[in-house]
Amino acid sequence: MSLTLLYFCQQLLNGLTLGAVYALVAIGYTMVYGILGMINFAHGDIYMIGAFLGVLTLGVLTALGVTAPWLVLPVMLLLACLLTAGYGLVIERLAYRPLRNAPRLAPLITAIGVSIFLQNAVQQLQGARVQTVQPMFASNLVLWQQPVEGQADFTLAIGHSQLLIWGATLFCLACLSWLINRSSIGRAQRAVAQDLKMAAVLGVATDRVIGLTFVLGSALAAVAGVLVMIHYGVVDFAIGFNASLKAFTAAVLGGIGSLGGAVVGGLIIGLVEAFWAGYLPGEYKDVAAFVLLILVLLVRPSGLFGRPEVSKV
Q: Mean pLDDT, 10 residues at a time, over the chain (313 residues)? A: 86 93 90 82 91 92 88 93 93 88 84 91 88 82 82 84 92 91 90 89 91 92 93 89 87 86 92 89 79 85 74 49
How far is CA 178 from its chain centroid?
19
pLDDT at 309: 60
The domain segmentation of the chain, as residue ranges, is 12-134+158-299
Cα 248 to Cα 42, 112, 210, 252, 288: the distances in Å are 11, 14, 20, 6, 15
12-134+158-299 belongs to CATH 2.40.50:
no
pLDDT at 313: 46
pLDDT at 39: 81
Reference 55, options 219, 234, 217; nearest CA is: 234
Reference 247, options 227, 231, 262; nearest CA is: 262
For 178-302, strand residue ranges (E) read 234-235
Instruction: In whole angstroms, give the CA distance from residue 13 to residue 22.
Output: 15
Instruction: In whole angstroms, give the CA distance from residue 165 to residue 136.
Output: 13
